[in-house]
Amino acid sequence: MKVQRDGRNVTVEVTADGEGLVSHAGSALLAQMADKSGLTQALSVRLAELKQRRSGHDPGRVVRDLAVMLADGGDCLANLAAVRDQDALFGAVASNSTAFRVVDAIACTPGLLDAIADAHARAREHVWSQTGAPERVTIEVDATLVTSHSEKEGAAGTYKGGYGFHPLMAYCDETGEALAAILRPGNAGSNTAADHITVIQDALAQIPAELIETIEILVRADSAGATHEVLHFCREHRLRYSVGYELTDQVRAAILTIPEKQWVSALATDGTARENGQIAEITDLIDLTAWPAGSRVIVRRERAHPGAQLSFTDHDADGGRC
């Protein structure tokens, strides 16, 4: 296997035993990908003001090494030692204290977080120009809970009774790329419209400018994204949207009135009919006057799998979704 160290090709032999072995060899490919895509260079240019000495560590490479460490399973800054110990693969890696100063400076200096996002957009534009941009961009917006086992800045109680953080993220479904994320305390609301709009705007900024007006864009979220503010924002910016809809009593009653002949098979991702799952439309059966004009409500029913917990109102052992 060939990897690059400080711009020079280095051959690394992969073997099960012997001398001169290195671990985490696959992580070197991730670092090389960052270099080849132009991401490392873009980060170096935009974070150049943080480099105080000519012989000091390049802030762009520090950020790259931290990202590689996280992808390799690290969960704290001290885990950077796993990268630092592989000098043959990664070259000189910053100390923990140097890496902390870079992170602290980025967090405290106005504009540097935006600079990192701009570097990502620049690298993505280069990669898409080489590999081809997707025909459609589906922006998947979702939040997750990250547990904290000790008191940390921003950690708070979560709606599930835990303690930690509640970041909101956006991914490109077609390519699997992370587009944007915002850090939030554990007690941040699941359906906070302002946060959803912010992360959608940040995700849109990651799409190359020459494609933003022509490429088809779909915003997809669960019921946390089903707020009037978010959907009106999508409509104003000519974005398609698909969000979860709450199963209210009105919706449940409408589902029970659907004639059996109006249910059609749901489709799998490859376009084939699913064995378990049918869909129908109830747009004309509920009041949608408060939602953007043209909004539709599609419901899905499917036979519950063994062990599934049905609600009292589930009809004939079929679970409903909107």
Which CATH superfamily includes the segment(s) 135-244?
Answer: Transposase Inhibitor Protein From Tn5; Chain A, domain 1 (3.90.350.10)
Joined together, the tokens standing for residue 134 give 């997707």
Please tell me the predicted confidence (pLDDT) of residue 236: 94
d(CA 219, CA 140): 6
**pLDDT of 34 above 90:** yes
Q: Dihedrals φ, ψ of 177, to 5°?
A: -80, 140
Q: How does pLDDT run across 144-191, given as a tens digit for each residue?
A: 999 998 888 889 999 999 999 999 999 999 999 999 999 999 999 999
Give yes or no for a contact between 306 and 292, defined as CB atoms under 8 angstroms apart. Answer: no
Give yes or no for a contact between 32 and 4, defined as CB atoms under 8 angstroms apart. Answer: yes
What is the DSSP-derived secondary structure letter of residue 48?
G
Domain map (residue ranges) of the chain: 2-112, 135-244, 246-322
Q: How does pLDDT run across 86-107, given as a tens digit for each residue?
A: 887 888 899 999 999 999 999 9
Reported for 114-117, long-range contacts at CB under 8 A and 24+ positions apart, including other chains, are 115/46, 115/47, 116/43, 116/46, 116/47, 116/63, 117/180, 117/202, 117/205, 117/206
**pLDDT of 2 above 60:** no
Joined together, the tokens standing for residue 212 give 């933003």
User: Where do the DSSP E strands lie in 7-119?
Assistant: 8-11
Give yes or no for a contact between 68 and 25, defined as CB atoms under 8 angstroms apart. Answer: no
**Amino acid present at 66:** L
